[in-house]
Amino acid sequence: MDCHQCKSKSQSCGTQSWKLPFFRNNQPSFSKEVPASPPIALVGMPNVGKSVLFNALTGIYVTVSNYPGTTVEVSRGLMQIASQTMTVVDTPGMYSLMPITEEEKVARDLLLIEPVTAVIHVVDAKNLGRMLPLTFQLIEAGLPVVLAVNMMDEAHRWGLDVQQDALEKELGIPVVCMAAALKQGIDELKQRIMPFLPIQPAMIPA
């Protein structure tokens, strides 16, 4: 069996695997042993809907623990995407990659010190101008960013719209317009994350 982490042909490269508890019959069937691929990280300013999106993507097996050496809580959960089980991490709200608070430092460390498979930058569609500078910082840091323009329901109520294609072209990254609280755009978001996954769908035996 190939190791998903280091691509070696050996049985084990020493990377960590999660052993999951048994699930009830009516719950989606995750493989019991999850490859320790780097997580997909949800980042963004406070109050933009990261945790609502985290719950919409995961919700089956979630752990909450303090980030090592801090009192900052970090939630990790599992998401099923293209037949793969990926870890999703919900980071504390951050305004910039140059941290001021302990929460921001944890969010920065989760992105820049630990490896990530993809970074979902969640922004409030009503305040794009205020939030895009962090998108640029994430892109400049070389991170694999997908922009989730959330709260489109409220933006529409305010008479605002977002030109998804134009934004995507300008930024050069995938952009998804969504309303996480209404579970709108979740499937499209998963589709746009797929190219970043360690194993592409075509490589998974039927």
Positions in the binding site for Mg ion (CB under 5 A): 50-51
**Which listed option, ligand GTP, Mg ion, none, makes contact with residue 34 (CB within 5 to 8 Å by class)?**
none
Convert 73-104 to b/e letters by CB count within 10 Å (16 or more is b). Answer: ebbbbbbbbeebbbbbbbbbbbbebeeeeebb
When the beta carbons of 119 and 197 are compared against ligand GTP, the nearer one is 119
When the beta carbons of 92 and 174 are compared against Mg ion, the nearer one is 92
CB of residue 157 to ligand GTP, shortest distance in Å: 9
The DSSP call for residue 11 is: S
Handedness of CA 137, 69, 41, 129 (dihedral sign): negative
Q: How far apart, in whole angstroms, are the C-alpha atoms of residue 196 and residue 145? A: 9
Residues interacting with ligand GTP, by CB under 6 A?
A: 44, 46-52, 93, 150-151, 153-154, 179-182
Sheet holding 40-43, edge to edge: 62-66, 73-81, 84-90, 40-43, 118-124, 145-150, 175-177
When the beta carbons of 53 and 78 are compared against ligand GTP, the nearer one is 53
CB of residue 53 to ligand GTP, shortest distance in Å: 7
* CB-based contact 33:16 (threshold 8 Å): no
CB of residue 39 to ligand GTP, shortest distance in Å: 16
**Which listed option, Mg ion, ligand GTP, none, makes contact with residue 46 (CB within 5 to 8 Å by class)?**
ligand GTP
Q: Residue 89: beta bridge partners?
A: 41, 76
CB of residue 9 to ligand GTP, shortest distance in Å: 41
CB of residue 48 to ligand GTP, shortest distance in Å: 4
When the beta carbons of 41 and 179 are compared against ligand GTP, the nearer one is 179
CB of residue 42 to Mg ion, shortest distance in Å: 8
The DSSP call for residue 125 is: G
Q: Which is nearest to 176 in space by CA: 136, 146, 139?
A: 146
When the beta carbons of 147 and 197 are compared against Mg ion, the nearer one is 147
When the beta carbons of 122 and 176 are compared against Mg ion, the nearer one is 122
**Which listed option, ligand GTP, Mg ion, none, makes contact with residue 102 (CB within 5 to 8 Å by class)?**
none
Q: How far apart, in whole angstroms, are the C-alpha atoms of residue 39 and residue 114? A: 9
Q: How far apart, in whole angstroms, are the C-alpha atoms of residue 64 and residue 128? A: 30
